[in-house]
Structure 1
Amino acid sequence: MKEKIEINGEAIYLRKLFGEDTDSPIDVFSLLHNNGDLTIVLYPMSNRVSGMCIRDGNNKIICINSTSTYGRQRFTIAHELYHLFFHKDFKSIVCSKDIEAQKDLQEKEADLFASYFLAPYEALTSFIKNKLKKEKQTLHVDDIVKIEQHYGLSRQATLWRLVNDGYITQEKANTMKTGIISSAIRLGFDDKLYRPLPEDKQHITFGKYIKLAEELKDKELISTGKYEEIMLEGFRGDIIYGLNPPENYD
């Protein structure tokens, strides 16, 4: 397995490739939407699966389990990006939801990359030391909430990273695996990070798939009926039937 410093370096490299800095929290969904080679599919999957990725030539597809929490979906995106940009010789990979489970080396590397991509090593170290004013083995559950809210990490991903970096023990982490939403709400945070998407948004496709369908229609290379079929197969009836909510020009 690669050294942590090398994987953190790869995370920094990909951040810069996407035009991001090395310290700030990032909106991984926006990163994907702005990458012309990627298609993103949100779809309910087994509770044992976090997502999967497919690579076929220049086509890259990331499928995310839309029943997982928003924080976990962000982690899954970063995990799949590692497979797509740094692993070779694969066509599809299905990824487990349990970060703490025994996995092969590629999956362990992808988990570590996802953590560093969302919260680079130096950035998290600085946040804990300078913002929270804490040292290793002194973190309270309130500090855990502030870390996960700042970087958009799920509780599982946050505890796993802090144990991995020696900030808390596994025994202490085990005491913070329940009461997750209440611990955030009582500090004044929204609970979006800890909940899945609403059911009406759990089937949807973004990215290259939609763009190509629009181009084929505009160039009259496919019929209107075929265009609608493609869109419906991508769960985009909202585009076909104009189901978007009213807009405000504020």
Structure 2
Amino acid sequence: MNIERLRKIIKYSQDNRTEISTEVKKFCAYADIEPESNMLNILQIVRELFQKKGFLFLEMPIADDEIGALCYKGEGLGYVIINSSLPRVNANFALTHEIYHVFFQSDEFASKVEFADDHYYEHDDEYAANLFAGMLLMPETDFVRMFKKFFQESDSNLKPTICKLMAYYCVPYMAALIRCCELELIEKKAVTETIMNVSKDEISNELDNLWLDSMIMSPSLIDEYPLLEKVVIKLGNDYVDEQLINRRTLDKIISNMHALREKTRGGH
């Protein structure tokens, strides 16, 4: 991330915040939650909503740690896969990012959220989804209040303030910093390369020093593949009974799933 890229993101946010804010409200109405409420467990909220939209949601460790999420929707069932090999804050943001694609994109699409040192913000076509995720996870009124509180507690020191915000809202460091810039809570001259480019180890150490939960920087490694296989086997057996497929075809499908899983498996 560099200053010019950050300026482009903030410009996009300023130009599109009204439209994206409307979509946040639409999603909250659909989910029957208050638009300004904190998302304490976004996963619990969206899993059933994704199913209603025709999407299967899974958490699995993926070997490629630059991929935060995969999302696809064709003519049939869609899927959203969150990479549980990533830090919890990144996985949380990736999930919320995918809400935008599921609810506000066309019928057929594919997306891949990449997380290489927060470089996922460098994909122009993902700006809307990132803005949506930031607004949903960090509602404006509450975020402004908590920023002022943490900034005062931190003696106007920006880095610990950002770390407190990311721990409080369970979002990546850069997502919290960008939200501060979007809401004009910090002066432009305060956003230096040092503030923007903070390593994972630096963030973890800062969280430890602040007695905050540094485990948000660790992966959950949740693997729901066995649940997926269980669903496929059940449906497959039903299709075999109905003579829609034969047993050999079902066995081949399961074998291919195993092979693909081993090839992509992360978190070893």
TM range (shorter): 0.7 to 0.9
Q: Is the 8 A contact 1:163 1:173 kept in 2?
A: no
Per the alignment, residue 141 of structure 1 pairs with 159
Q: 8 Å contact 2:167–2:213 — kept in the other structure?
A: no
1:195 lines up with 2:209 in the alignment: no
Where in structure 2 are the equivalents of 1:13-92 lying within 5 Å?
13-21=26-34, 22-35=36-49, 36=51, 37-41=54-58, 42-57=60-75, 59-88=77-106, 90-92=108-110
* Ranges in structure 1 where 5+ consecutive residues have no aligned partner: 238-250
Residue 103 of structure 1: aligned partner = 123
SS at match of 1:52: strand
CA distances 1:118-162 after superposition (whole Å, capped 9, x unpaired): 112233123324x44759x94533322221122111212222322
Question: Which consecutive residues of structure 2, in runs of 5 or more, have no partner in the other structure?
Answer: 1-11, 262-268
Between 219-228 and 94-103, the greater mean CA deviation after superposition: 219-228
Conserved 8 A contact 2:151-2:157: no
| Alignment-derived partner of residue 191 in structure 2 | 170
Amino acid paired to 2:196: N
C-alpha distance in structure 2 between counterparts of 1:204 and 1:149, whole Å: 28
Q: Which contiguous aligned blocks of 4+ residues in structure 1 show a shift greater than 6 angstroms?
A: 222-225
Percent of residue pairs identical: 18
Q: Deviation at 1:214?
A: 4.2
Total equivalences in the alignment? 230
Contact 2:159 2:195 in 1 (8 A): no
Q: Tell me if the contact between 1:25 and 1:118 (Cα under 8 Å) persists in the aligned partners.
A: yes
Contact 1:52 1:95 in 2 (8 A): yes
Aligned partners of 1:20, 1:213: CA distance in 2, in Å? 35
Contact preservation (8 Å) 1:49, 1:96: yes
- Per-residue deviation, 1:75: 0.6
Q: How far, CA to CA, are the matches of 2:215 and 2:246 in structure 1?
A: 40
Native 8 Å contact 2:69 2:114 kept in 1: yes
Paired residue for 1:118?
137
Shift of residue 110 of structure 1?
A: 0.9
Among 195, 198, 204, which residue is 1:181 paired with? Answer: 204
Find the aligned partners of 1:27 and 1:232 in 2 and give their Cα distance: 34
Looking at structure 2, the residues matched to 167 and 232 of structure 1 have their Cα atoms a distance apart, in angstroms, of 51
Q: Point out the structure with the larger helix share.
A: 2
- Give, in whole Å, the separation in 2 of the partners of 1:223 and 1:110: 42
Moved more, 218-227 or 165-174: 218-227
- 1:168-218 per-residue CA deviation (whole Å, 9 max, x = no partner) reads 3421623654511111122222222111234xx3563768x8657546657
Cα RMSD for the two superposed structures: 3.6
